[in-house]
Amino acid sequence: MLKLYDFLESGNGYKVRLLLRQLGRDFERIEVDILEGESRTPEFLTRNPNGRIPVLELDDGTCLCESNAIQWYLAEGTDLLPDDPIERARVLQWMFFEQYSHEPYIAVVRFWVFAGQADQHQDEIPARMKRGYEALDVMERHLSHNRFFVADRYSIADIALFAYTHVAHEGQFDLSPYPALRDWLGRVQAQPGWIPITQA
Amino acid sequence: MLKLYDFLESGNGYKVRLLLRQLGRDFERIEVDILEGESRTPEFLTRNPNGRIPVLELDDGTCLCESNAIQWYLAEGTDLLPDDPIERARVLQWMFFEQYSHEPYIAVVRFWVFAGQADQHQDEIPARMKRGYEALDVMERHLSHNRFFVADRYSIADIALFAYTHVAHEGQFDLSPYPALRDWLGRVQAQPGWIPITQA
């Protein structure tokens, strides 16, 4: 059976967990307490030398890392990843946008709050929040004339961007100026098989 | 003809430029001076609302963004992107590693030096360099028992990681403690059709 090394509060872990549920795949979830350094133990580093969750372990022991790469692997051949070359490039485009222009700001500020580290990072937070809002601006502009990120249908690009956007308020981001984005959050939550981030 | 919106010193632009050359594809290169804000003009934002190069414009005007997503689009069906699902996931895994754990440290410090902004960012540089060396450590460990990043052959994963690693010294990174990595740089530079980053 597939094994998912996960951390319940992690949006990156949640992407894969949500996708597995929506695809109806059975898996064993293994909680890795990243706050206690459990993703940096010598044993864990044999699964991911970069010391991060999520990791998906296949039946033969092969370990795949990086949330969006794992999503691509699992979604290939399903309705959650289009077949058209341009649409596939767009899915990747939004997933790279998420990891480069969104996650380091929105997820990281939320993590600092969650881990009780906001005080020690207070000098960095204003710049991170500015960049986070810039990412939300890009999303709002796109969603003001698109129902989903790619090809007018729900895909792993939506999962990638939903994961940390829907909990952005936990990092003190205010989503009230983003009506199209909030409507999209609702459309994602209405998808069959959707589970909240707190559900194992 | 394909149009590549590029900036000669950019590793992200170089990834696509190098790949196009190695695939023997004709293209028109359009220099965008990011230091002068040319990637943030209203006209450029119609091509990439996130205000970044590279952008690949297809014959019908479709614009693709994010260097590694563009690479995937161009390399599909060629020898530079494997067919096997696990190997494809590994290519993506290393490309997401590059954008999340490598580029924000190694490329950004180099950019600050290049743009004459090292003084104004001096407080941030030690932490960025530490994370950059952590990325190089992960690469060295992998390359100590692999000739290339995926499937024992040159692929777009190598291009993605080569782009900023081979100019890391321009950000004051010292590659002398990384013998396997330096051997791999040589193997990439020996590939047919390789061009230096300074070559349009």
Last residue of a domain, one of A75, A103, A138: A75
B126 to chain A, any CB pair closer than 8 A? The answer is no
Query: Per-residue pLDDT tens for A81-123?
Result: 999 999 999 999 999 999 999 999 999 999 999 999 999 999 9
Q: Do the domain assignments include residue B178?
A: yes
Query: Which residues in chain A are closer than 8 Å to B89, comparing Cβ atoms?
Result: 64, 69-70, 72-73
E-assigned strand segments in A36-185? 55-57, 63-65
* pLDDT score recorded for residue A156: 98
Q: What φ, ψ does residue B140 adopt, rounded to 5°?
A: -60, -45
Q: Tell me, what CATH number does B172's domain have?
A: 1.20.1050.10
Residue type, B89: A
The answer to whether ipTM exceeds 0.95 is yes
With 0-12 / 13-18 / 19 or more C-beta atoms within 10 angstroms meaning exposed / middle / buried, residue A30 is middle
* pLDDT score recorded for residue A57: 98
Q: Tell me, what CATH number does A43's domain have?
A: 3.40.30.10
Average pLDDT, chain B: 97
Query: Per-residue pLDDT tens for A6-34?
Result: 999 999 999 999 999 999 999 999 999 99
The minimum CA-CA distance between B69 and chain A, rounded to whole Å, is 5
Q: In terms of domains, do A15 and A70 share one?
A: yes
The answer to whether the CB of A15 falls within 8 A of the CB of A160 is yes
* pLDDT score recorded for residue A187: 98
Rounded Cα distance between A91 and A79, Å, is 13
* pLDDT score recorded for residue A75: 98
* pLDDT score recorded for residue A95: 98
Q: In terms of domains, do B57 and B111 share one?
A: no
Query: Which residues in chain B are closer than 8 Å to A89, comparing Cβ atoms?
Result: 64, 69-70, 72-73
Confidence of residue A165 (pLDDT cuts 50, 70, 90): very high
Q: Do the domain assignments include residue A127?
A: yes
Q: Do the domain assignments include residue B177?
A: yes
The minimum CA-CA distance between B65 and chain A, rounded to whole Å, is 6
Query: Per-residue pLDDT tens for B109-149?
Result: 999 999 999 999 999 999 999 999 999 999 999 999 999 99
Q: In terms of domains, do B184 and B93 share one?
A: yes
Beta carbons of B86 and A73 less than 8 Å apart = yes
The answer to whether the CB of A91 falls within 8 A of the CB of B72 is no
Q: In terms of domains, do B119 and B156 share one?
A: yes
Helix (H) or strand (E) holding B93: helix B85-97
Q: In terms of domains, do B104 and B132 share one?
A: yes
Tokens of A99: 């990891």
Q: In terms of domains, do B36 and B128 share one?
A: no
Query: If we measure between CA atoms, which residue out of B11, B24, B12 comes closest to residue B2?
Result: B24
Region A47-60 average pLDDT: 97
Q: In terms of domains, do B112 and B30 share one?
A: no
Query: Which residues in chain A are closer than 8 Å to B76, comparing Cβ atoms?
Result: 85
Rounded Cα distance between B55 and B27, Å, is 12
* pLDDT score recorded for residue A14: 98
Helix (H) or strand (E) holding B28: strand B27-31
* pLDDT score recorded for residue B37: 95
Residue B76: which of A85, A100, A138 has the nearest Cβ?
A: A85
Region A158-167 average pLDDT: 98
Neighbours of A150 (CB within 10 A): 24
Confidence of residue B98 (pLDDT cuts 50, 70, 90): very high
Q: In terms of domains, do A70 and A94 share one?
A: no
Q: In terms of domains, do B7 and B94 share one?
A: no
Residue type, B65: C
Rounded Cα distance between B178 and A97, Å, is 30
Calculate ∠ Cα B97-B98-B101, nearest 5°: 65
Residue A62: which of B73, B86, B141 has the nearest Cβ?
A: B86
Last residue of a domain, one of A75, A98, A130: A75
Q: In terms of domains, do A59 and A89 share one?
A: no
* pLDDT score recorded for residue B114: 92
Q: Looking at the 3D structure of chain A, how many domains does it have?
A: 2
Return the percentage of chain A with pLDDT > 70, whole number.
100
Task: Give this prediction's pTM.
Answer: 0.98
Range of the domain at B139: 85-189
Beta carbons of B89 and A69 less than 8 Å apart = yes
What are the C-alpha distances in Å from A185 to residues A53, A95, A166, A179, B5? Answer: 24, 17, 7, 10, 33
Last residue of a domain, one of B34, B51, B75: B75
Q: Do the domain assignments include residue A151?
A: yes
Query: Which residues in chain A are closer than 8 Å to B103, comparing Cβ atoms?
Result: 100
Per-residue burial over A13-23, b if 16 or more Cβ lie within 10 Å, else e, is: bbbbbbbbebe
A21 to chain B, any CB pair closer than 8 A? The answer is no
